[in-house]
Amino acid sequence: MRSPIPDYLDEILDKHRPDRSGANADYIPALASADPEKLAIAISTLDGVEYTSGDSEFAFSIQSMSKPFVYGMALERLGLPAVLDTVGVEPTGEAFNELSLDKASGKPLNPMINAGAIAVHALLGPRGASAAERAEIVRAGLSEFAGRDLRIDASVAESERAGAYRNVAIANMLRSYDIVADDPDEAVNGYIDQCSILVTVADLALMAATLAGGGINPRTGHRVLSPRVNRQVLGVMMTCGMYDVAGDWMTEVGVPAKSGVSGGVFGVLPGQVGIAAYSPRLDGHGSSVRGTRIFRTLSDDMGLHIMEAPEPARSIIRRDRRFVDEDGEMVRICSLQGLIQWSGAENVLRTMDAPESSTTVFILDLRRVYSINDVARRLFTEALARMEGDGVRVMLMDPENLLACAGPDSPLPGLERIDSLRHLKGLKRIRNAVAAPIR
Ligand code: GLU
């Protein structure tokens, strides 16, 4: 069978190719002269598979799409409090190059606008670092997300630098508030190099997939961001990534995303995929016209909107059976399945809680469970401990140690673990003792 996905991507590009509205960014000559007909899309899955269509090997400058990744790098290096002291996380609803600073503190409102991005860039490297030093830190860091060595296009940087009056003004303003502690010119120059790093849509999709995968690059397997920092980056992208159309984007497309004035845009569907599109003509908000439309189509066709409420999970209680063994013990075996998060754990606890004084042995069977998140693990551990406290003999079938009960440091060190029901002699099923239906 030939997968229909590549054909679907070709179709999306064909659908939007005739749209020639918008115009290349004109304030950076290297972007103004880019071929406006270029069109590309890439999707990267969390197991490292890539689907592309169109000019997917064409390299363009990353521009503002660098901002979330560099924000993540700064958070990893300096920690959340230090970065929050420098740049806030509030959407501005204003254009990317607006001088949106908090009136009292002078703090940029978020790291996705230029003011915030320049301030974040200036946090990298040692005090007094040069533009070249910081640019190299960023280049190396972004390469980790892309899984290959990226490079800075010096001609794009020069072209932007020649007319960077506004960004120079922003950096000087930040310096006056002590938000940028070093030479503002070095900060702007380093930031411009950051924006001039070349990527393809395939690179961007993989970088997005790294964020989708909780900070682990699906191709290299390297952890690039910690889960907490990754979450912070996605949260800021979701609320501030699309400048003055963040609300429209969030309601219509519903994927945390970031666009850049080169015409690229990437989106992250947590736990699922990274997506990137490229087409240089921009709308009045500085985002790619065709890129935006491609994302709208993808979101509708593939049901990517993050606020689309998932179908209520099928019961994770596969079976809840009662037996009596040859010694007359009342044995209850509760077999679970699938992925267990808070709501699933609550469901199980409610069942375990059903008044049933007759149970003397309780077996929690996790053999068909493939994942338990942290909160569910803590709820189960607590519930099992309470059951033991109530005098019930508790046994666990957990071959992959999902509850992390093994070892001396476990919260339930004494819990009996069994690998099959063969240990229990002469079990006789009690047919009429059916658990309350679980929804
Ligand atoms: N280098 C560009 C600037 O600072 C990036 C802007 C963008 O991509 O939105 O003006």
Cα 305 to Cα 124: distance, rounded to the nearest angstrom = 34
Q: Which of 67, 259, 288, 331 is catalytic?
A: 67
- For the chain, the farthest-separated pair of C-alpha atoms sits apart, in whole angstroms, at 88
Does 261 appear as a known binding residue? yes
Q: Which entry of 44, 61, 64, 288 is annotated as an active-site residue?
A: 64
- Ligand 1 contacts (CB < 6 A) are 63-64, 96-97, 114, 160, 167, 195, 260-261, 286
**Residues 244, 97 contacting (CB under 8 angstroms):** no
Measure 112 CA to ligand 1 centroid, in angstroms.
Answer: 10
Using the mean position of ligand 1's atoms as its centre, give its distance from the Cα of residue 148 in Å: 23
Rounded distance between C-alpha atoms, residue 419 and residue 433, angstroms: 25
What is the CA(260)–ligand 1 centre distance, in A?
Answer: 6
Nearest CA to ligand 1 atom 2: 63
| Segments in 213-287 forming alpha helices (H) | 227-240, 246-252
Active site residue 67: yes
CA–CA separation, 256 vs 112, rounded Å? 12
pLDDT tens digit string along 363-399? 999 999 999 998 999 999 988 988 888 889 999 999 9
Q: Given this model, what pLDDT does residue 435 score?
A: 45
Q: What is the dihedral of CA 209, 210, 216, 217, to 10 degrees?
A: 90
Ligand 1 atom at minimum distance from 96 CA: 9
In the set 70, 120, 168, 261, the catalytic residue is 261
Residue 100 assigned ligand-binding role = no
Give the DSSP letter of residue 245.
G
71 is catalytic: no
Considering the four listed CATH numbers 3.40.50.300, 3.30.70.600, 3.30.1330.30, 3.40.710.10, the one that applies to the domain covering 4-302 is 3.40.710.10
What does the pLDDT read at residue 314?
Answer: 64
243 is in an annotated binding site: yes
Enumerate the domain spans of the chain.
4-302, 317-429
Q: Per residue in 183-206, pLDDT tens?
A: 999 999 999 999 999 999 999 999
**How much is the pLDDT for 429?**
78
What are the tokens at 367? Answer: 């053999």
The side-by-side arrangement of strands in the sheet containing 257-259 is 50-54, 40-45, 273-278, 264-269, 257-259
Structure tokens at 263: 């015409």
pLDDT for position 434: 47
167 annotated binding-site participant: yes
pTM over 0.75: yes
Distance spanning both ends of the chain, measured CA to CA: 37
Q: How many residues does the chain have?
A: 439
**Ranges under pLDDT 70 in the chain:** 310-314, 354-357, 406-408, 431-439
Query: What Rg do the C-alpha atoms of the chain give, in angstroms?
Result: 27
CA angle (383, 399, 438) in 5-degree steps = 45
Q: Return the DSSP state at 152.
A: B
> What is the number of the ligand 1 atom nearest to the C-alpha of 160?
1
Contact 184, 159 (CB under 8 A): no
Mutate which of 31, 195, 244 for ligand 1? The one with the most ligand atoms within 8 Å of its CB, which is 195
Q: How many Å separate Cα 317 from the centre of its chain?
A: 29
> Measured in angstroms, how far is the CA atom of residue 157 from the centroid of ligand 1?
11
Q: Tens of pLDDT along 136-189?
A: 999 999 999 999 999 999 999 999 999 999 999 999 999 999 999 999 999 999
How many whole angstroms separate alpha carbon 51 and alpha carbon 56?
A: 10
Fold of 317-429: Transcription Regulator spoIIAA (3.30.750)
